[in-house]
Amino acid sequence: MLLEITVPTEERFQVVDITDEVQHLVWRSDVTHGVAVVFTTHTTTGLAINENESGLIEDIRAKIKELIPEEGNYAHNRLDGNAHSHLRATLLLNPEVVVPVEDGELTLGAWQRILFIELDGPRHRRVLVKVCGC
């Protein structure tokens, strides 16, 4: 069963903790042992697993901006002006994370959270979750 989370973002760059939503979908899936594949369906967003701590989120935002600045002589900007967002998603992030599921629970470490990273908001975003038994 393919499940889905809607993530409405309000800022240009925003980190949204979707761990609780993913856990609820795992419970709905009736899979007790397997994996949860979480996949963002967009070219200017990414997923990561890390700590949801406000200082760290600030650091992530600053480092992403430093590594790939908004201003640049980007060819894609001839089309829609968001080349930096695509580059950040492609070169710095992944479209998916995979988390083992045991006894119906995501087996994340104590400080690990599933973070959805908006790079070109605000928009309504769609994240797919596939829970497979194995």
Site for Zn ion, rule CB under 5 A: 80, 82
CB closer to Zn ion, 77 vs 107: 77
The least distance separating Zn ion from the CB of residue 100, rounded to whole angstroms, comes to: 34
The least distance separating Zn ion from the CB of residue 105, rounded to whole angstroms, comes to: 37
The CA-atom distances, in angstroms, between 100 and each of 58, 79, 94, 132 are: 28, 40, 17, 10
Number of H helices, E strands in the chain: 3, 8
The least distance separating Zn ion from the CB of residue 120, rounded to whole angstroms, comes to: 8
CB closer to Zn ion, 30 vs 70: 70
Q: Is 101 exposed, middle or buried (0-12, 13-18, 19+ CB in 10 A)?
A: buried
CB closer to Zn ion, 9 vs 82: 82
DSSP letter for 84, please: H
The least distance separating Zn ion from the CB of residue 80, rounded to whole angstroms, comes to: 4
Alpha helices in 5-53 (DSSP H): 19-29
CB closer to Zn ion, 19 vs 44: 44
